[in-house]
């Protein structure tokens, strides 16, 4: 049979934190009525809890806002990471663009001379040649992150 004093101490601790079932509470109060040592421990525990509840606690004024921000960042998955496939796609696009840059520039130059399009328009077209895929990739990455949040 377990030690009744240890059981009483355990029940006192549980009662202070989470409460007790009716049967356990009845057993504890019956034991405390007959055991001065356990009753003293229960009274000391109750007095300590009352003192803790009365003690002033200073909380920074912006604690709630800081906590909300940290929770928001946690939910957002901060720091944001790209999937390995997307990183590989970016790298391949960049490498392909760098490798073909001289040929693409010559092609735009040839088309400009052939059609008589002003050089400024050809430079703009060349910028779009590389800018549109980069913008599309950035849009895809952003959409991927939005799906993760929802």
Give CA–CA dist 111/114, Å, rounded.
5
Q: What's residue 82's pLDDT?
A: 66
Q: What's residue 33's pLDDT?
A: 92
Is there a domain that residue 68 lies in? no
Q: What's residue 26's pLDDT?
A: 92
SS3 content of the chain, % helix, strand, coil (to 5): 80, 0, 20
Q: Let me know: does 25 contact 15? Beta carbons within 8 Å.
A: yes
Is there a domain that residue 105 lies in? yes
Is there a domain that residue 41 lies in? yes
Q: What's residue 1's pLDDT?
A: 46
Q: Long-range pairs for 97-102 at CB < 8 Å and ≥24 separation? A: 97/130
Is there a domain that residue 31 lies in? yes
Q: Do residue 90 and residue 137 come from a single domain?
A: yes
Whole-angstrom distance between the N-terminal and C-terminal Cα of the chain?
Answer: 55
Is there a domain that residue 79 lies in? no
Q: Do residue 48 and residue 97 come from a single domain?
A: no
Each residue's pLDDT, cut to its tens digit, for the chain (150 residues) gives 478 889 889 989 898 888 888 898 999 999 999 999 989 998 999 898 888 888 887 888 888 888 888 888 777 765 556 677 777 877 887 788 788 888 888 888 888 889 998 888 888 888 888 788 778 877 877 777 666 655
User: Measuring CA to CA, which residue among 40, 48, 38, 34 is closest to residue 11?
Assistant: 38
Number of domains into which the chain is organized: 2
Is there a domain that residue 29 lies in? yes
Q: What's residue 40's pLDDT?
A: 92
Q: What's residue 150's pLDDT?
A: 54
Q: Do residue 45 and residue 97 come from a single domain?
A: no
Q: Do residue 49 and residue 88 come from a single domain?
A: no
Is there a domain that residue 60 lies in? no
Is there a domain that residue 74 lies in? no
Q: What's residue 27's pLDDT?
A: 92
Q: Do residue 96 and residue 135 come from a single domain?
A: yes
Q: Which residue has the tokens 């003293």?
A: 40
- Domain interval for residue 43: 4-54
């Amino acid at each position: 049979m377990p030690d009744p004093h240890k059981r009483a101490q355990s029940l006192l601790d549980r009662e202070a934190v989470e409460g007790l079932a009716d049967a356990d509470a009845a057993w504890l109060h019956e034991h405390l009525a007959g055991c001065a040592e356990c009753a003293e421990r229960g009274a000391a525990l109750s007095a300590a809890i009352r003192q803790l509840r009365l003690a002033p606690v200073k909380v920074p004024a912006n604690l709630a806002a800081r906590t909300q921000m940290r929770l928001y960042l946690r939910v957002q998955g901060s720091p944001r990471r790209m999937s390995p496939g997307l990183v590989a796609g970016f790298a391949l696009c960049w490498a392909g663009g760098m490798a073909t840059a001289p040929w693409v520039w010559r092609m735009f130059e040839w088309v400009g001379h052939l059609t008589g399009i002003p050089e400024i328009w050809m430079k703009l077209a060349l910028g779009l040649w590389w800018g549109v895929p980069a913008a599309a990739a950035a849009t895809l990455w952003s959409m991927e992150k939005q799906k993760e949040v929802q």
